[in-house]
């Protein structure tokens, strides 16, 4: 598990182990995410609650709405800023949250 999420104690567990997973590169490390659920949900299921560093407040945020409204789950997915709660993971995807940045527009 990655270290970034240690600032928050909020965690979710998946009721059932995922039937299938896909491997993605998350902030440069290989992780397996459940297939068939959004990237945001998948990340929460492996303890990754931080979705991004707010570019204006320079502070960590977690997904807030999980329905496409708040844009707190914006992360760089295959080179484009996308809503992780509206995107499914695919094998080999490259996801960057730029958590070590100070939240400047990446």
Partner 1 sequence: MSRHYDVIVIGTGPAGLSAATLLTKMGLNVLALDEQQRPGGQIYRNVEGAGEARLNLFGPDYSVGLELVNEFRAANVNYEGGASVWQVEADGRICYSKDGKSSRISANYIIAATGAMERPVPIEGWTLPGVMGAGAANNLAKEAGLTPKGKVVLAGSGPLLLLEASILLKKGVEIAAILETTDLIPPADSVTKLPQALMGWKLLYKGTTMLWELQKAGIPHYRGVRNIRALGADALSGVEATVKGETLNFDADLLLLHFGVIPNTHIFRQAGCQMVWDEKLRYWYPSCDSWGRTNFEKIFAAGDGCRVHGAVAARHKGTLAALEIACCLGMIPESERDDLAEPVLKALRQDNLPRPFIDAMYAPKPSHFTFENETVLCRCENVTVGDVRKVLDEGVRELNEVKIITRCGMGPCQGRMCGPALAEIVGEYLSLEPDQAGLLVVRPPLKPIPLSEVAAMDLGDGGTDGGNWLLDKK
Ligand X SMILES: Cc1cc2nc3c(=O)[nH]c(=O)nc-3n(C[C@H](O)[C@H](O)[C@H](O)COP(=O)(O)OP(=O)(O)OC[C@H]3O[C@@H](n4cnc5c(N)ncnc54)[C@H](O)[C@@H]3O)c2cc1C
Q: Which residues bind ligand FES (CB under 6 A)?
A: 40, 63-66, 68-73, 83, 85
Rounded to an integer, what distance in angstroms lies between the CA atom of residue 99 and that of residue 9? 17
Which positions touch partner 1 (CB under 8 A)? 7-16, 34, 36-38, 41-42, 44-45, 49-50, 54, 56-57, 59-72, 74, 80-81, 86-88
**Residue 99 CA to chain centroid, in angstroms?**
11
In the bound complex, what is the minimum distance in angstroms from residue 67's beta carbon to ligand X?
5
The residue among 86 and 94 lying less far from ligand X, judged by its C-beta, is 86
Residues of span 41-70 touching ligand X by CB under 6 A: 67-68
Q: Which is nearer to partner 1, 23 or 66 (CB)?
A: 66
Q: Which CB contacts under 8 angstroms, 24+ apart, belong to 41-45?
A: 41/66, 41/85, 42/89, 43/84, 44/12, 45/12, 45/13, 45/14, 45/18
Q: How far is the CB of 38 from partner 1 (least distance, A)?
A: 7
Is residue 58 exposed (0-12), middle (13-18) or buried (19+ Cβ within 10 Å)?
exposed
Of the two residues 70 and 106, which places its CB atom closer to ligand FES in the complex? 70
Q: Are 71 and 62 in contact (CB under 8 A)?
A: no
Residues that bind ligand X (CB under 6 A): 67-68
């Amino acid at each position: 598990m990655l270290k970034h999420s240690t600032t928050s104690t909020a965690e979710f567990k998946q009721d059932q182990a995922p039937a299938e997973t896909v491997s993605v590169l998350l902030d440069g490390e290989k992780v397996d995410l459940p297939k068939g659920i959004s990237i945001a949900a998948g990340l929460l299921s492996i303890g990754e609650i931080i979705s991004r560093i707010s570019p204006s407040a320079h502070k960590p945020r977690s997904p807030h709405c999980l329905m496409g409204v708040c844009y707190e789950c914006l992360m760089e997915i295959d080179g484009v800023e996308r809503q992780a709660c509206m995107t499914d993971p695919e094998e080999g995807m490259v996801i960057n949250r730029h958590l070590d940045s100070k939240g400047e527009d990446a």
